[in-house]
Amino acid sequence: MIKKKILQAYEEMAERYNELIEHKPHNAYYDRPNTLSLIPEVRGKAILDAACGPGKYAEILISQGATLTGFDLSPKMIRLAQERNGDSGRFFVHDLSTPFKTLDDESFDIVLCALALHYVEDWTQTIKEFRRVLKPKGHLVISIEHPFFEYNYFKSKKYFEIEHVKCTWKGFGKPIEVNSYRRPLHECLLPLTENGFYIDSLLEPKPTKEFENYDPKHYKELNAFPAFMCIRGVRKLRTLETIFK
Ligand SMILES: C[S@@+](CC[C@H](N)C(=O)[O-])C[C@H]1O[C@@H](n2cnc3c(N)ncnc32)[C@H](O)[C@@H]1O
């Protein structure tokens, strides 16, 4: 039911999201530069962009020489990603919280998942799938809403729980209700470390200077308190599960 609402929201805003993605400050001058800074050299590398949206990250990574596969829950987002990238990438509709059956074991050097994991209640299966499709020592780079920001924003009284939350986005045409899950800090880190990753970098990002030209109010706020968090994990060679199998 919640997933259906998330899908409906993104289907409804896909066109507008795509039109704005180039310069929308939180994406263009906050999330993307910081998340991209965690991605190692991509030339000649196979990258999975999980929840790729309209394929802006894909466009950047392809232009830098990566071979790109992307998926997203929203068929409209996938059509837009295909239109943006032509034959340069392979894109298909898929749900992040179900097994990536069409993707082979150890077939990617890098998995990217930007601003999407807060739509998944239980990360365990998703992170296990990220690990399965990554080559040994491959990199997982994710960006998520910062757990402390969400705790304040949603006026939570239950820090330690994973909570279903919703808010209304007004920046994409008519107001759209967006459902997601907020979680405490340990629920952002332990799913990685317990399912086959070392965490080797963590960013509490600051906006780039260009952000200020588009949105001075949020520029000031984001320099005082983070809204997003970017994490890089490295695939462990073996997990406890495989050692004792
Ligand atoms: C905020 S957008 C980010 C898009 C893209 N990663 C970017 O940063 O430009 C979130 C995306 O996650 C997708 N999404 C939400 N839930 C998903 C799920 N369960 N599986 C796959 N994609 C999902 C939405 O359709 C949307 O395209």
Residue range 124-171, pLDDT digits in tens: 999 999 999 999 999 999 999 999 999 999 999 999 999 999 999 998
- For 165, the domain range is 2-243
> Which residue's CA lies nearest to atom 1 of ligand 1?
115
What distance in angstroms lies between residue 6's CA and the mean position of ligand 1's atoms? 9
CA 49 to chain CA centroid, Å, is 8
Please give the number of the atom of ligand 1 that sits closest to the Cα of 31.
8
Q: Give the mean pLDDT of the chain.
A: 96
* Residue 58 CB less than 6 A away from ligand 1: no
* Residue 52 CB less than 6 A away from ligand 1: yes
For residues 173-183, give the mean pLDDT. Answer: 95
Q: What is the pLDDT of residue 173?
A: 81
pLDDT band of residue 174 (cuts 50, 70, 90) is confident
Nearest to 20 by CA among 67, 80, 61: 80
pLDDT band of residue 238 (cuts 50, 70, 90) is confident
Q: What is the pLDDT of residue 149?
A: 97
Give the CATH number for residue 152: 3.40.50.150
Give how many domains the chain has, as a whole number: 1
Please give the number of the atom of ligand 1 that sits closest to the Cα of 7.
25
* Residue 11 CB less than 6 A away from ligand 1: no
| Contact criterion met (CB below 8 Å) for 129 and 108 | no
> Per-residue pLDDT for 102 more than 80?
yes
Q: 119 CB contacts (<8 Å, ≥6 apart)?
A: 3, 6, 51, 73, 96, 179, 180, 181
Q: Is 152 helix (H, G, I), strand (E, B) or coil?
A: helix
List the alpha helices (DSSP H) in the chain: 2-20, 25-26, 32-37, 56-63, 75-85, 124-133, 147-153, 186-193, 209-214, 216-224, 240-243
pLDDT band of residue 30 (cuts 50, 70, 90) is very high
> Per-residue pLDDT for 76 more than 70?
yes
Q: What is the pLDDT of residue 237?
A: 86
pTM over 0.85: yes
> Which residue's CA lies nearest to atom 16 of ligand 1?
119
